[in-house]
Structure 1
């Protein structure tokens, strides 16, 4: 089924993609710390949401989107072509581990990634969805090694994961010379447990800035959520 999503400055069609457009992606794309110039890499771009948000938020930064799934590559390439930033966006058909080997170390200023997160359990029946959701194609160890290799000394990588999986990744990060500079724990309502964690990793050891975000209050979006996403959602 072909589905089209309109944001304030771009439109996305996610036909055939393993994972549909989600609040997770919008949160990460709005929260990530991005350089106005330089080179940004979106690992596992899917339909291209994070790459497009990065393009909207930056002046001249070049964004390279890496993707394995053929249907997602087709969708992302088309979405990039119809955006106002087509000259700064490219989608590469590659496994990130293979692509990483061909790229000079410490050459990427920022990495954004909404990574697979299920380490165990039954995979989704549709292969596209299984690839997007399970770590078989990109383990957290591989992701951390890739971040370590690609990031410049002052660069950062921004991720979003379910809270438990995010904590697991953070316990492994120091072994790869990576440190959590910022984190934001996200819950849907004030009385629900935290469900997602936004994470910023750098090569520089620092005291972690810790924040919390609640998406809804009563029957509306919270003021914090609106402030974070208002440049993208049409009705914010």
Structure 2
């Protein structure tokens, strides 16, 4: 029997996460709950590095007509994601695939998606997490999934009018913008996420192909502050996640 700490209870589904290396955290909740202003409801969605499936499940709840595919390499996470998908109200619209990102992209004719999203590994410290699976889930290693890799290959997977959504550390944004330009993408929307005002710690970003631009479009910028001065969740954070989190 699973303990209460191994199950994350949402309003419309439960997330079992006792065996997977990476647990559901604030970053995944923010990306899953974010609704970019310039994004039309997608019909086909790809969640890269799904872990136990939280982003795929949140998007299945929000977009009732969307078909969602989830890719994950780590075997224990795949097993739990499969359980979570089957137990959810949206199992018939969720497809799970155990695969390496580059292997999947380099197929002869990769599928195309209206929205790709990922909460990718981004830690680059030389001291890695002790378990190999946790290191894979949390660190940017040679050849493993990373924000730069996703930007580099997104255009191979996007339908016309499609977009890539990421959450990454705030200090990586400029480097990612440079990578995006080299890969034929531009930053369409950016939310600076702060624990306290004017102290960004994360960036929610939406990237689109430059080739589809017909005129100059400035980046749509906003800020999300997560906490009140007393450390309690901010009103903006509660509004963002209220459709998913229990009160």
Fold-level match, TM-score > 0.5? yes
Alpha-carbon distance in 2 for matches of 1:209, 1:223: 21
2:21 is equivalent to residue 18 of structure 1 = yes
Deviation at residue 47 of structure 1 after TM alignment: 0.6
The SS at the match of 2:83 is helix
Deviation at residue 78 of structure 1 after TM alignment: 0.3
Deviation at residue 142 of structure 1 after TM alignment: 2.2
2:86 is equivalent to residue 74 of structure 1 = no
Give the alignment of 1:163-182 within 5 angstroms. 163-182=170-189
TM normalised by structure 1 equals 0.93
The corresponding residue for 1:7 is 10
Deviation at residue 103 of structure 1 after TM alignment: 6.6
Alpha-carbon distance in 2 for matches of 1:84, 1:103: 33
Q: Find the partner of 2:109 among 104, 111, 131.
A: 104
Gaps of 5+ in 2: none
The corresponding residue for 1:117 is 122
Deviation at residue 171 of structure 1 after TM alignment: 2.1
TM normalised by structure 2 equals 0.89
Answer whether contact 2:42 2:115 (CA < 8 A) is retained.
Answer: no
- For residues 2-26 of structure 1, give each alpha carbon's deviation from its aligned partner in whole angstroms, at most 9, with x where no partner exists: 6001000000011222211101101
Alpha-carbon distance in 2 for matches of 1:167, 1:118: 17
Indicate the RMSD between aligned Cα atoms, in angstroms: 1.8
The corresponding residue for 2:221 is 210
Answer whether contact 1:117 1:165 (CA < 8 A) is retained.
Answer: no
Gaps of 5+ in 1: none
